[in-house]
Structure 1
């Protein structure tokens, strides 16, 4: 086919239960000038067979098979092959509204936007949660502030991005990274974008019922991924015109990553002091009851006291929750 308007990259690993619904939602799109590049990342189930069947029937679907190398490597291979004016990368266990590509493409072209994003929802077994991202102002600065400050997710799948931005600035997924592998790429694209546009419609359905997905797992490796992503993104911002404008958001992002070393099961207070030490004193600005004492104890190398304070914090919160529940019941009986 001639160069398509949109390239859709789908990394796929052991998703035989989900990928048909994903691909069918693409085939039902009201906008049809697109290519689909599926990268089968060494699946051991019937994913490869299903992908081959769809590619044999539909000319705009192609499949790349590779040995298992991880989601970031799969996306990178797909992005190297894409030919569209715009690209979007979706997850194989999710699905889209029939008008998703049309809405994103029309919004992007009418605004001459380098990056266009939409709302989406999270689908759970027992409920659906709608996520909207209305900003007070839609431009790269406000968008990046929301991203880095934690107000928005840096996902691929609700964003249509100009391929030229990606290629001109040599942006690429970090091979080996699983957590936040989308965050680094989409925010680097936003960093170099001249215009950003917003489509205020729920167009993508983010499946939360697949408990085997990477984002449902937590580990030391995930934290290492996040640290690497933040280091690379911080370095890029420091070299950009937004260095001073985004200074507070960079601090917040670094503190977020450090908190894992205090509040997860993988506690390492000495490492907390050593990672991004330039923001340690900002952690003392918290107004929360225990957190300031916890941070100060770490900075003073009083790690036994830190553990005691964490223990007290945990049970203080538990007591407060139970007390509130009891008071609520008493009020209801009166």
Structure 2
């Protein structure tokens, strides 16, 4: 069966970001012009094969931009594994069209089981010496894979962590620098455990917490990854943070690369929080509490949990996902969790208007505090959503 080729999306645009030429051309015209069509996947001792795993769910209009960025990589021995996680739109047609044109692209089709399970399916199929993860609506800078592989080989690192920028629209007009790796270096296991690992528990002396957690700005040595990976968490929120929290302590050497390698685009779970994900947020912090014996780390994690409760619910209120009528539901979810009681007991000083109302189970007063001065935030939020929808 012949699948229609994907339409050139935000393609045919050149733009320069941080010195990286981005050309989002259509998959056929651009790749043909470079002579890369049907490029064989061959690894040599000097050029190890890299497997890039992309979980995809209902991204028919956005995945082409991601795939084009991978096909533009200056590191050619690439294996691209697309895991179609039960998409219900025309995503399958787009993925199969790319796979028909490129021998190094494989499509795995499975029933919807979530991004965590999709990544694991890709890991099981990967053949490369190194593995990377990319979300289907994000992108890599052209020399990202090359820079990370070279550092991994030079430093004999189990994991390489790169930096990233966040694009709020497809042109990179609205963007910000989120990563904060100031200089490249390699961290031995003992130093990482003593100095960096506490960042997972809210004691981030290096300012790298969000950089640690993301799976998508890292290159993993596959042999290490398969031996260190935990069982799938089943979480739909921050599942990559929990994954790395369990993987990193087993790494002998972690390399930090002070280079933007990843374009994180607004959207996905973190751009569309819902109250149903509130359960997963609570589960995340609860599981983290069982991963350390250090009381100072636990206390820090409990404070981070309280901060996350407020910011999570405030975001839902601003977006309209949380109303006064649904506030009792959120409070009930917290009261049913032991970590909520632990956090309130560990931090009695956290008792402003919002938390004071939450402590006495006054959901109406808590929602009023949460919504205080949010009118302009709501207007700004909705206006931004309209603008971003137009420029995407």
Question: Quick check: TM above 0.5?
Answer: yes
User: 1:318 & 1:257 partners in 2: Cα distance?
Assistant: 18
1:40-86 per-residue CA deviation (whole Å, 9 max, x = no partner) reads 11223332122122222222211101122222221121112112222
The Cα RMSD (Å) is: 3.1
Instruction: Mark the runs of 5 or more structure 2 residues left unpaired by the alignment.
Output: 1-40, 317-321, 378-392
Instruction: Mark the runs of 5 or more structure 1 residues left unpaired by the alignment.
Output: 322-334
1:295 aligns with 2:355: yes
Candidates 209, 217, 221, aligned match of 2:276 = 221
Candidates 329, 334, 340, aligned match of 1:272 = 334
**TM-score normalized by the length of structure 1:** 0.78
Candidates 305, 325, 345, aligned match of 1:254 = 305
How do residues 1-334 of structure 1 correspond to structure 2 at under 5 angstroms? Answer: 5-125=49-169, 126-134=173-181, 139-141=191-193, 142-149=195-202, 151=207, 152-153=209-210, 154-175=213-234, 177-208=235-266, 210=267, 213-238=268-293, 243=294, 246-259=297-310, 263=314, 265=322, 266-267=326-327, 268-269=330-331, 271-275=333-337, 276=339, 277-286=341-350, 291-292=351-352, 294-296=354-356, 298-299=358-359, 302-304=360-362, 307-308=364-365, 311=368, 314-315=371-372
Offset, 1:293: 5.2
User: 2:93 & 2:366 partners in 1: Cα distance?
Assistant: 54
1:121–1:202: 8 Å Cα contact kept in structure 2? yes
Please give the secondary structure, in 2, of the residue aligned with 1:91.
coil
Structure 2 vs 1, CA of residues 52 and 69 (structure 1 numbering), >3 Å: closer, same or farther? same
Structure 2 vs 1, CA of residues 295 and 39 (structure 1 numbering), >3 Å: closer, same or farther? same
Please give the secondary structure, in 1, of the residue aligned with 2:160.
strand
User: 1:229 & 1:135 partners in 2: Cα distance?
Assistant: 29
Tell me the residue number matched to 2:16: none
Structure 2 vs 1, CA of residues 235 and 34 (structure 1 numbering), >3 Å: closer, same or farther? farther
1:145–1:249: 8 Å Cα contact kept in structure 2? no
Offset, 1:187: 2.2
1:79-138 per-residue CA deviation (whole Å, 9 max, x = no partner) reads 121122221110111111111001111222222222211111111234111122237985
2:50–2:79: 8 Å Cα contact kept in structure 1? yes
Offset, 1:233: 3.4
User: 2:366 & 2:279 partners in 1: Cα distance?
Assistant: 26
Please give the secondary structure, in 1, of the residue aligned with 2:291.
helix
2:64–2:94: 8 Å Cα contact kept in structure 1? yes
**TM-score normalized by the length of structure 2:** 0.68
User: 1:24 & 1:312 partners in 2: Cα distance?
Assistant: 46
User: 2:143 & 2:178 partners in 1: Cα distance?
Assistant: 18
- For this pair of structures, how many residues does the alignment match? 305
User: 1:172 & 1:221 partners in 2: Cα distance?
Assistant: 23
User: 2:150 & 2:296 partners in 1: Cα distance?
Assistant: 31
2:166–2:176: 8 Å Cα contact kept in structure 1? yes
Please give the secondary structure, in 1, of the residue aligned with 2:76.
coil
Tell me the residue number matched to 1:324: none
